[in-house]
Structure 1
Amino acid sequence: MSERFLTLSQLRAARAELNRLHSGRGIHDDAEACRFIRERGFVLLMPIAGIPLPSLSEADEAEAWDGFAITDRAWAWKETLPQQKRCAYTKLIHGRGTFIDWRLYPSFLKVYGPDGDPDYEYENGRLDRNERDLYRLVAESGPVDSRELWAMAKPLFDGKRHRFTAALEHLQSRFFLTVAGGSLEGWTLHTWDLVERQAPPEILTGLPMAAEARSNILRQTIRNCYAVSERKLRSILRWPAPDFQESFQALKNDGAVIEVKVEGENLPWLMLRHQT
């Protein structure tokens, strides 16, 4: 039997609070943006339809662009915050911009990162040749901006920019490459570098075990959604089914989550027992 009942209005209100600092304030400057990312562990750059996670743009007190769900400050933060190494920024959740606090970053690196170097990943079919060679270009020339990198990589991709972009996104999602700042002129321009050169050194030498890393991410994802269905959790995290099921069951066995009945939903949803 479910321990709680949530109306849709209660759920919306609770999720709206997650787009603010713990103090209840919105964010106005770099320091508050970093505090928000630290409090939430990881946040989106801007909202994604159907994904109930906090976003930096929604937390910003400034008005969003007309017709877009992003503010001027959030658009700049994706360059300035990683450039100052105050957090990580990469394309991850549903292939979209995601800020990750350094305290939770080791868990993401363990779960989503590679099992070995690019040659090892290539030999095991988890990177293609062009992705491996693009990594090598950044290793040799980085930090390097997107324009310069494309000029160097163009022959690798037969001049097809969409293949270059897809390779960059895959290397980000596997935690080989990361945004290391960028230009704020016009539509902005990312600077790229290796994760190993951008992440604090202690992160790379102190990764948790896989089970602990998945538990850390799973707990924070539930907290960041306030309440969420198992199906939605699977959609957000996109883990192999055995990994998800093992971590999910462990969390339930620990008593860390409770089932809640949500208005209009047939199956129970989950929330942390001590939701904060």
Structure 2
Amino acid sequence: MSVLDIKKLAAYRAKSFRLTKLHRVKTRGQALHFVDHRGYVFFWPIKGIDFPSLWTAVAGDRPVSDAHDDPGHITWGWKDKALDQKIWYYAKILRRKSTIISLGIAPYFYALSDNFGSPGEDYILAYEEGRLTRAAKQVYEALLKEGALNTIDLRRSANLGIARDSEFNRALEILQADFKILPVGIADAGSWHYSFIYEIVTRHYPTLPEQARKIGESEASQKLLELYFNSVGAAQQNDIQRLLGWKTDLTARAIRKLISDGKISKLNIPGKNEEFLALAQLGG
């Protein structure tokens, strides 16, 4: 079995993650190109997960700064201004963390979600099967009835005013991760005068279900996995499942297809009894 060249991998990620000053993202237009090229990225870097983020593409490989005037926080403004402009798909998706997805790739994610029929009915089945909490069901029903609402009004309309913050926030994360709701704007509301406005996904992107309906499970998983390897270069199977949240059999089938198509290979790290999956060009 060939070996994984660690130096080649580091150089590959420095370019794909935009870590070097030469490749840094400097404008909103470049940010959109970065997202479209990668297919999907995190907004912030996530500890323990090797994956591109808009923050590191702008600020480099360093922790997110607490200083409000840090140059890297220009990403915050880009993200907020883009919420209602439909230039990309933004929500808490991967690991239930802030994720930006290219509009051309969003249907592949949606095809793997638990949304099969009518948006007004799918959530009921999800709740009955235990995939939605009661709070998530109430939040979704409030948006179905009232339309887009800021976080303050949404909590009130969902009858969660006295619920714990963690219960309400978890409901928002569950619904976003399953492509049922997403933030579509910013409202001057709450004590911080800053509140996300949430809407039903199929109202904001009405053509998404039809686009996804044409994509089968195998095609969707292979596309997303290929984009994953084009970003990270090399990984182990558990890395893939940690990020994408796929079951073992789905992950294994997608891996086998990419191997058979010659897009990735099995490689070892010298001196370690560990098997990696990697782009063939990263072999030593």
With normalisation by structure 2, the TM-score equals 0.84
| Counterparts of 1:187 and 1:214, CA distance in 2 | 40
- CA-based RMSD of the aligned residues comes to 2.8
Match of 1:131 in 2: 136
Q: Residue by residue, what CA displacement relative to the aligned partner does 1:158-180 show, whole Å, maximum 9, x if unpaired?
A: 43221010011000011100111
Query: Is the Cα contact below 8 Å between 1:145 and 1:189 reproduced in 2?
Result: yes
| Counterparts of 1:241 and 1:189, CA distance in 2 | 37
Q: List aligned pairs for 1:93-132, cutoff 5 A.
A: 93-116=94-117, 117-132=122-137
| Counterparts of 1:221 and 1:257, CA distance in 2 | 11
What secondary structure sits across from 1:54 in the alignment? coil
| Counterparts of 1:160 and 1:238, CA distance in 2 | 26
With normalisation by structure 1, the TM-score equals 0.87
Equivalent in 174, 191, 194 of residue 197 of structure 2: 191
Query: Is the Cα contact below 8 Å between 1:122 and 1:132 reproduced in 2?
Result: yes
How far off its partner does 1:187 sit?
8.2
Q: Which amino acid aligns with 2:4?
A: F
Match of 1:232 in 2: 239
Q: Residue by residue, what CA displacement relative to the aligned partner does 1:124-145 show, whole Å, maximum 9, x if unpaired?
A: 3322333222101112223221
Q: Which amino acid aligns with 2:144?
A: A
Percent identity, aligned pairs only? Answer: 26
Q: Residue by residue, what CA displacement relative to the aligned partner does 1:164-200 show, whole Å, maximum 9, x if unpaired?
A: 100110000111001112258958421111110222x
Match of 2:17 in 1: 19
Where does structure 2 lack aligned partners over 5 or more consecutive residues? Answer: none
Q: Which amino acid aligns with 1:122?
A: Y
Query: Is the Cα contact below 8 Å between 2:15 and 2:23 reproduced in 1?
Result: no
Query: Is the Cα contact below 8 Å between 1:107 and 1:216 reproduced in 2?
Result: yes
Where does structure 1 lack aligned partners over 5 or more consecutive residues? Answer: none
**Residues 1:241 and 2:245 aligned together:** no
| Counterparts of 1:11 and 1:60, CA distance in 2 | 21
| Counterparts of 2:38 and 2:138, CA distance in 1 | 35
Q: Which amino acid aligns with 1:168?
A: L
Query: Is the Cα contact below 8 Å between 2:59 and 2:71 reproduced in 1?
Result: no
Deviates more, 1:97-106 or 1:53-62: 53-62
| Counterparts of 2:187 and 2:166, CA distance in 1 | 21
Q: Which amino acid aligns with 2:185?
A: G
How far off its partner does 1:105 sit?
0.4
| Counterparts of 2:268 and 2:97, CA distance in 1 | 30
Deviates more, 1:243-252 or 1:183-192: 183-192
Equivalent in 56, 59, 64 of residue 57 of structure 2: 59
Q: Which amino acid aligns with 2:247?
A: P
**Residues 1:168 and 2:166 aligned together:** no
Match of 1:204 in 2: 209
How many residues align? The count is 270
Match of 2:227 in 1: 220
| Counterparts of 2:114 and 2:78, CA distance in 1 | 24
| Counterparts of 1:70 and 1:149, CA distance in 2 | 33
**Residues 1:144 and 2:143 aligned together:** no
Query: Is the Cα contact below 8 Å between 1:17 and 1:24 reproduced in 2?
Result: no
Q: Residue by residue, what CA displacement relative to the aligned partner does 1:219-272 show, whole Å, maximum 9, x if unpaired?
A: 111211111122211211221222222222222222221123335642231223
| Counterparts of 1:261 and 1:67, CA distance in 2 | 41
**Residues 1:269 and 2:272 aligned together:** no
Match of 1:36 in 2: 34
Match of 2:266 in 1: 259
